[in-house]
Structure 1
């Protein structure tokens, strides 16, 4: 490939839409996300006093497009456009409805479509009437010629759903937390946490705790309350295995770890001391213990074993669909936990960018609507049961009863409009968020730079604002300084250089290995209270909102390259193998001696388009001096941050992720490339900066605070945020009559959407 611009050495990459994280996530909500949510909602069953069993199922959901109300009078076009909502101080909303199917005693099913009101629609999304229009057509509609979208209009005010940082999904993280030790006298501060996310973006957190007695317990959350199940009891409830099979499943690869072996035997013995010997007895014991927690959503005729199956499906490792997959990954978490306790792997910080992803607005929208659909089903159940108690004789449920019960449910549309207008989420489940308020901000059209910064801003979370520690604010990877130089020197000239560095600087381990450049801008953050918490995405950083079209293609490629499937026995002992994990699911094993070659061949297939181009390939080798838990971890899920670099082997653009970048060596310029050391090359020397950060002239000649001040002050200057002044109602907008061109400007000013507005 030839550079697009020889003078500036800029390689051709895909143009990143500034509002893509917002618009694409909302399009996912409108399409596949809504389908996944409907398919995942379990049916609601209950009985009446005449022993008739009623079953209610949500079979579909539809979100319309904004239109004028039927009583709006005569109009040439009943489609509603954002310009009209801004002028009229109204909301850009569209109707949403759900299809409810119900039957009695598994008889003939009946269907009813229930309206849930009107919810706000994101501008420029697929359900917005501006989507797909050319600049000329936008101007004819009175809209902005460079409309980016990504915001909502509520009562004439434009608001943006914030991008929030969250823990990396479906990845076991070794942590120490003092709060865990304070839960019980037997608990320690050590554990392995996994944030599990399903296809419909519903999330839960499972933690495998290490106790001072040597055993392990699994934590899960039910109705915002924490519960703990012994590890072996959970494994026995998942699979109908003997104690010997469970022992060998846990110990594989760690046969020489006598402490781990003794603890497995002790945990199996404690289970027998409680007179629990079989798979069925485990399920009945767990189901009996938690039956009273599911009285609202499970019928009374469910057996204890069925209650346990429901608990495991919706609260334990929910990203996996089969019990065998959950069993395998729980064994992997146990092996990592005891390796962590034994000092064989290091602590992984959730404040590190490599252990984070982005919570997108469309995904929060989807979880909130799913919760409202479940509330509608429960509301119908309560209405019918109350009426059943009042009726005399053999009362039968009719269609008009379902319609009346559905109409009595709380309005969903008004809840969504209040959520966007105030930023406060009134949710029973919390939708996987750490904060219930401050989720939206005003999209004020002060100037073009301010608009762009709203769309690329990402917040760590309100929970960390009052924290007195600097860890959440710190830009991980002071790999910008002298320690990075030492680490690079060791890795370049010594076979196990990183291990030596980890030994020398064990207190700064997260700082050294977490090279987070290229994803979060190091200078575009405000000073004061939000400093380090309110950041902005780098220019080329993309947040994924697409999944592989053929998920099986990657699994087939892994098998062709020599991976042994998890249900087969590898040709060498497990101690000589690395585990292959795809999106939190254990797929198989590869030989340690061939792991690097395996990962390189897989990376070549990725750059050639033979597998999903956004696949994250993370090979964590086994280190003599510790490090992260070894294995080949692959990621294809949503919400991950990735950025383009040049693969030096194939001379093509490759997208890499935050965790993947830790184990790659990326050269900033061609002059720095060392044969056998560097694997990739930056597409641009200034790729670490955001769209606003790249506008600062001579940024390398100014102190870092000056770059930060320029990013902030630039968003407060007079500009031309729009050209349709006659259609605007804001009283904060300036109109610059005599614009000036800067005496000095960078390539971002010339090639970016700056002079356009």
Structure 2
């Protein structure tokens, strides 16, 4: 998502080829000196590195020129690859007055030690069948039964797809786009992905249960429901139908309604599979069969409170998603604006020797300087106010201040896991219970009394968090 090329005018192209992060440092008498965490604690400053943006311009007057700009500062996690303490031995740490046993994993913001909480989220790329009373409030025809799938791509962007079983026997997909809910018949979604006939859909869904009248009747109800809403003769007509629904939800240069439908499928439907649409359709078939099996009581429902259905939202994942969203928003705010494009073209084609400085002052600083400040705000306050399109369980309480009363207290922060603000306010106690499946993974004793009981838990000492994607 970093490499972008913009055609500003006929004779001018601006290309972003990368972003860079330097190690924390400061200058003393024109000499570059490494910054260490101890100095930041004593001076009440942030332990951060320079955030650099690499750009190149191609113009008819000057040819191609590349340059790198500093667009802010980014907090550096202690003992990370960019930290000056990385791979330092005990003797070296003692010589610079650092802790002999420095674990890292936290940030220093204005002299305060902060860490991003380990939040519990539903396990990615796995379908879950749930029966909840709140599902009936989604629509007049919705029942309590639904099948959910949290799709997460390699950049940790997540999109959750919900399939709802209706009282009519049909199945509708519930999708959230720009914080708005949309219900779409599942057959329309399937036919928009690949060109497939009704007969093939019927055969695929009843392949293993061809003699089961319950399944056959439900599939017929789905097909009938879809034909009443949309023209399903061709894939193009279905894509245009989706484009009309989501035309106000996407910023796209092309006026073609079909391209809006294509973008919706790429950005919101099972994004972990990329552009492999046949695999997406097969996964939708599997989710439909699982939902209908649960409705007929042929399979049991999944338990979202079980630790086998959960995973952690790691600090690096949250920061990655934040960078992706804010970086793309900053680029779109500048280069999709016609007035900005004319100004950029003017500055580069009618410039003097200081054209790079003028360009930085006018455009880059305004667009990107808020990225570093926003990340510092998330770490220091644990909350933010922005149009954050990523699905995140809460927008406050994301970070916590570290207390160094003793080493045990310090260590407990890195073993703590939080169920989420939603369960803290929930009157139901199902999210607080310690289930037998948690034995060996969660400590059955280490949880606070009062309102946080069962919400703030701690992993066992022998547990390791897997980083495999």
Report if TM-score (shorter chain) is over 0.5.
yes
> Cα 1:134–1:217, aligned 2, differ >3 Å: closer, same or farther?
same
1:542 paired with 2:468, answer: no
Structure 2 partner of 1:14: none
What corresponds to 2:2 in structure 1? 38
What residue is the counterpart of 2:278 in the other structure? 324
**Alignment map for 1:449-468 (pairs within 5 Å):** 449-468=408-427
Q: Is the 2:8–2:342 contact (alpha carbons within 8 Å) kept by the matching residues of 1?
A: no
**Whose strand proportion is higher, 1 or 2?**
2
Whether the aligned pair in 2 keeps the contact of 1:162 and 1:439 (CA below 8 Å) is yes
**Contact 2:423-2:431 within 8 A present in 1 as well:** yes
Structure 1 distance, partners of 2:15, 2:21, is 19
1:95 Cα deviation after fit: 1.4
CA positional deviation for 1:38: 3.5
User: Which residue, 304, 311, 335 being the options, matches 1:381?
Assistant: 335
Counterpart in the other structure of 1:275: 231
Q: Does residue 1:122 correspond to 2:77, yes or no?
A: yes
Write the mapping of 1:66-145 to structure 2, written as runs, cut at 5 A.
66-68=24-26, 70=27, 72-73=28-29, 78-100=33-55, 113-145=68-100
* Alpha-carbon distance between aligned partners in 1 of 2:86 and 2:450, rounded to the nearest angstrom: 38
Q: Which residue of structure 1 aligns with residue 261 of structure 2?
A: 308
The number of aligned residues is 456
TM-score by length of 2: 0.90
Asked if the contact 1:192–1:209 (Cα under 8 Å) also holds between the matched residues in 2, the reply is yes
Indicate the residue corresponding to 1:532 in structure 2. Answer: 454
When Rg is computed on C-alpha atoms for both structures, the one with the higher figure is 1
Distance 1:235 1:465 in 2: 38
Tell me, yes or no, if the aligned pair for 1:162 and 1:440 is still in contact at 8 Å. Answer: yes
Structure 2 residue matching 1:463: 3-state secondary structure: helix
Separation in structure 1 between the aligned mates of residue 76 and residue 363 of structure 2, nearest angstrom:
27
Alignment match, 1:405: 363
Q: Give the alignment of 1:299-378 within 5 angstroms.
A: 299-301=253-255, 303-321=256-274, 322-378=276-332
Q: 1:45 to 1:286 in 2, by over 3 A?
A: farther
In structure 2, relative to structure 1, the CA distance for the partners of 1:376 and 1:213 (3 Å cut) is same
Cα deviations by residue, 1:247-276 (Å, 9 ceiling, x for unpaired): 222222232332222222232234334333
| TM-aligned CA distance change 1:123 to 1:396, over 3 Å | closer
Q: CA deviation at 1:425?
A: 2.8
Aligned residue number for residue 352 of structure 2: none
Hey, what does 2:400 align to over in structure 1? 441
* 1:61 correspondence with 2:19: yes
Aligned mates of 2:16, 2:280 — CA distance in 1: 27
Which string of whole-angstrom CA distances, capped at 9 and with x for unpartnered residues, describes residues 16-67 of structure 1?
A: xxxxxxxxxxxxxxxxxxxxx537xxx687998xxx7998765422222111
TM-score (norm 1): 0.57
Q: Deviations over 1:587-634 (max 9, x none)?
A: xxxxxxxxxxxxxxxxxxxxxxxxxxxxxxxxxxxxxxxxxxxxxxxx
Of residues 126, 144, 166, the one that matches 1:211 is 166
Q: Distance in 2 between matches of 1:310 and 1:103?
A: 29
Contact 1:45 1:299 in 2 (8 A): no
Task: Give unpaired runs (5+ residues) of structure 2.
Answer: 350-354
1:251 paired with 2:189, answer: no
1:157-306 paired onto structure 2 within 5 Å: 157-273=112-228, 274-295=230-251, 298-301=252-255, 303-306=256-259
Q: Do the aligned residues in 2 keep the contact of 1:195 with 1:206 (CA within 8 Å)?
A: yes
Structure 1 unaligned spans of 5+? 1-36, 478-514, 548-636, 638-757
Q: 1:59 to 1:453 in 2, by over 3 A?
A: same
1:522 is matched with 444
- Residue deviations 1:690-735 (CA, integer Å, cap 9, x gap): xxxxxxxxxxxxxxxxxxxxxxxxxxxxxxxxxxxxxxxxxxxxxx
Confirm or deny: 8 A CA contact 2:185 2:225 kept in the other structure.
no
Distance 1:102 1:136 in 2: 48
**3-state SS of 2:88 partner:** coil
Partner of 1:481: none
Q: Give 3-state SS (helix, strand or coil) of 2:326's partner.
A: helix
Distance in 2, Cα, partners of 1:109 & 1:259: 66
Query: 1: CA distance between counterparts of 2:427 and 2:195?
Result: 49
Contact in 1 for aligned 2:178/2:389 (Cα 8 Å): no
Q: Do the aligned residues in 1 keep the contact of 2:71 with 2:364 (CA within 8 Å)? A: no
Give 3-state SS (helix, strand or coil) of 1:464's partner: helix
CA–CA separation in structure 1 for the residues paired with 2:136 and 2:372? 43
Q: Which deviates further from its counterpart, 144-153 or 171-180?
A: 171-180
Q: In 2 relative to 1, CA 314–190 (structure 1 residues): closer, same or farther, beyond 3 Å?
A: same
Question: How big is the alpha-carbon RMSD for the aligned residues of Structure 1 and Structure 2?
Answer: 2.7
Report if aligned partners of 1:95, 1:115 keep a CA contact under 8 Å in 2: yes
Cα distance change of structure 1 residues 254 and 56 upon mapping to structure 2, 3 Å threshold:
farther
* Structure 1 residues 54 and 268, CA gap change in structure 2 (3 angstroms): farther
Is the 8 Å Cα contact of residues 14 and 56 (structure 2) preserved in structure 1? yes
